Amino acid sequence: MNSCALINLGLIDWAEAYGLQERVVAARKAGAIGDVLLLCEHPPTITLGRNGKQQHLLASEAVLRQKGVALHHTNRGGDITYHGPGQLVGYPILNLAAIRRDIGWYMRMLEEAMIRASADFGVTAVREAGKTGIWVASAPGAKTCAAPEKLAALGVHLSRWVTSHGFAYNVSTDLRYFDLMVPCGIADRKATSLEKLLDRTIAVSEVAAPLAKHLGAVLNLEMQALPRVQFLEALRQPEQNAHTSAPNETPAAEPAPQPDLEHARSDA
């Protein structure tokens, strides 16, 4: 079983986390580091994926500024979604070629890990045909919803079989922010959270450990928690080595990119 470094970044700006993802992806492609799972929360942020439609953003930039919501365009698959405090965001940066060369299967495994984590809290989450993410129609002690509500969203990117971006699981997210958009471009569905479903306070940290455990199980990876400082130091080493390589050295030819299959597989 291969290992996967588990790094908890805490609350981090989306752009800063994206910059870190790019560094980790480059190191993973070069074989300088192993697989990595970054877990974090973001300040209020809306992101538009490669398939995102501007009309699905219902608020003007002035309104977003007033509410303190950042807006970013991104290269992940999918449409539009919200990130904010109380939402567990996971960025698995994995060499899928060493696990299974199947982006559809990978998306289903991300869903499976979140379905299993939800079950740990007594919530039955399911998949919906033609839609990504996980959905909940009812919860313990709650009335059945008129239509299944979205508990977690997916949006991934794949380059030379190395994954980036990932999942967003609503733990105690302020769901009012989803009113600023048409979440994932699906007008007739709402978002929900674990806290709303269970009608009790839940910390993001309570969900992080079981979700990471289940993700390791479905991908056959051994999760090994590393302090953020230790991981960043390990990441800097190959970067420094690359900068100090011979200046006249001819760079290796860039391998042909893999087709962007993920854009047809994720909805945000």
Question: pLDDT by residue (tens digit) across 97-155?
Answer: 999 999 999 999 999 999 999 999 999 999 998 888 999 987 665 555 667 899 999 99
Chain mean pLDDT for the chain: 87
The verdict on residue 192 lying in a domain is yes
Report the C-alpha gap between 187 and 136 in whole angstroms: 17
Count how many domains the chain has. Answer: 1
The verdict on residue 247 lying in a domain is no
CATH number of residue 73's parent domain: 3.30.930.10
β-bridge pairing 45-48 and 80-83:
antiparallel
Report the C-alpha gap between 205 and 169 in whole angstroms: 12
CB-count exposure of residue 151 (10 Å: 0-12, 13-18, 19+): buried
Residue range 173-189, pLDDT digits in tens: 999 999 998 765 565 67
The verdict on residue 246 lying in a domain is no
The verdict on residue 102 lying in a domain is yes
Residue-number span of the structural domain to which 35 is assigned: 2-241+255-264
The verdict on residue 248 lying in a domain is no
Residue 48 and residue 69 in contact, taking contact as beta carbons nearer than 8 Å: no
- In percent, the amount of the chain with pLDDT more than 90 equals 68
Going by C-beta distance under 8 Å and a sequence separation of 6 or more, which residues neighbour residue 28? 34, 35, 36, 93, 94, 95, 162
The verdict on residue 249 lying in a domain is no
The closest of 21, 153, 151, 41 to 89, measured between CA atoms, is 41
The verdict on residue 105 lying in a domain is yes
pLDDT, residue 52, reads 65
The verdict on residue 260 lying in a domain is yes
Report the C-alpha gap between 126 and 148 in whole angstroms: 9
pTM exceeds 0.85, yes or no: yes
Show which residues are catalytic. Answer: 184
pLDDT, residue 154, reads 93
CB atoms within 10 A of CB 260: 15
